[in-house]
């Protein structure tokens, strides 16, 4: 029985792949914009929601009370209602920005 010398040789990936002069694999195909998991609209929504979160936390900032002196500003409406509400809306819109599936017309832009 005669054996072929090519069948005994180990299969080397460097021998079988097609690599062009730049060192990149020629078999790689660029994805279409429709195949991306997130579109440009998603990133705009996420950036706006990150801004809302930051604004909400900035509205909650302020000096606190000390043991010697009570500061009634810690109970202001801005610090306990407005700031947390804006931050919460920012977190909700962040989830919407990640989950949102745009139309194909919007996705191709």
The pTM assigned to this predicted structure is: 0.64
23-71, pLDDT tens digit by residue? 666 677 777 767 778 888 999 999 999 999 999 999 999 888 788 888 8
User: What was the pLDDT predicted at 64?
Assistant: 81
**DSSP, residue by residue, 34-82:** GGSSS-HHHHHHHHHHHHHHHHHHHHT------SSS--GGGG-HIIIII
Residues 75/20, Cβ–Cβ less than 8 Å: no
User: What was the pLDDT predicted at 30?
Assistant: 77
- Can you give the residue ranges of every domain in the chain? 31-107
């Amino acid at each position: 029985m005669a054996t072929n010398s090519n069948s005994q040789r180990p299969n080397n990936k460097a021998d079988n792949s097609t690599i062009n002069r730049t060192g990149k694999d020629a078999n790689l195909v660029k994805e279409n914009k429709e195949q991306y998991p997130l579109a440009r609209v998603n990133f705009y929504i996420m950036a706006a929601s990150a801004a809302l979160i930051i604004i909400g936390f900035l509205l909650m900032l302020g000096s606190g009370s000390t043991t010697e002196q009570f500061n009634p500003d810690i109970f202001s409406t801005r610090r306990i209602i407005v700031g947390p509400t804006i931050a919460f809306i920012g977190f909700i819109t962040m989830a919407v920005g990640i989950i949102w599936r745009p139309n194909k017309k919007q996705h191709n832009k």
